Amino acid sequence: MQKRDGHIHTPFCPHGSNDTLRQYAEEALKKGFDSITFTEHAPLPPSFTDPTPLKDSAMAQASLERYINEISRLKKEYRGQLAIRTGLEVDYIAEFEDEITLFLDTYGPYLDDSILSVHFLRAGSSYLCLDYDEHTFKELISACGSIEAVYEQYYRSIYSSIVASLGSNKPKRVGHITLVQKFIKLFPYSMSEHIRGLVSQCLSAIEENGMELDFNTSGLRKTYAGSVYIEDWMLNEAKQKKIPLVFGSDAHQAGDVGYAYETFLKGAN
- Judged by CB under 5 A, does residue 10 bind Zn ion? no
**CA separation, residue 79 to residues 34, 71, 74, 84, 96 (Å):** 11, 12, 8, 8, 37
Q: Kindly identify the residues of this chain, within the stretch 70-129, that bind Zn ion according to CB under 5 A.
A: 117
Closest to Zn ion by CB, 42 or 234: 42
Q: CB of 221: closest distance to Zn ion in angstroms?
A: 12
Closest to Zn ion by CB, 84 or 251: 251
Query: Which residues does residue 41 pair with via DSSP β-bridges, in sequence order?
Result: 89
Phi-psi region of 80 (alpha: psi -120 to 50; beta: other; left: phi over 0): left
Q: CB of 22: closest distance to Zn ion in angstroms?
A: 20
Q: CB of 23: closest distance to Zn ion in angstroms?
A: 17
Q: CB of 39: closest distance to Zn ion in angstroms?
A: 9
Cβ(184)–Cβ(224) below 8 Å = yes
Q: CB of 228: closest distance to Zn ion in angstroms?
A: 14
45: amino acid identity, one letter: P
Give me the DSSP letters along 125-176.
TEEEETTS-HHHHHHHHHHHSSHHHHHHHHHHHHHHHHH----TT---EE--
8: exposed, middle or buried (C-beta count within 10 Å: 0-12, 13-18, 19+)?
buried
Query: Which residues does residue 268 pair with via DSSP β-bridges, in sequence order?
Result: none
Closest to Zn ion by CB, 153 or 178: 178
SS3 6: strand
> Nearest residue by C-beta to Zn ion?
117
Closest to Zn ion by CB, 81 or 215: 215
Closest to Zn ion by CB, 32 or 260: 260
Distance CA 37, CA 216 (A): 13
Closest to Zn ion by CB, 117 or 249: 117
Other residues' Cβ atoms within 10 Å of the Cβ of residue 140:
25
Residues that contact Zn ion, how many (by CB under 5 A): 1
Q: CB of 179: closest distance to Zn ion in angstroms?
A: 6
Q: CB of 87: closest distance to Zn ion in angstroms?
A: 12
Closest to Zn ion by CB, 117 or 153: 117
Q: Which residues contact Zn ion (rule: CB under 5 A)?
A: 117
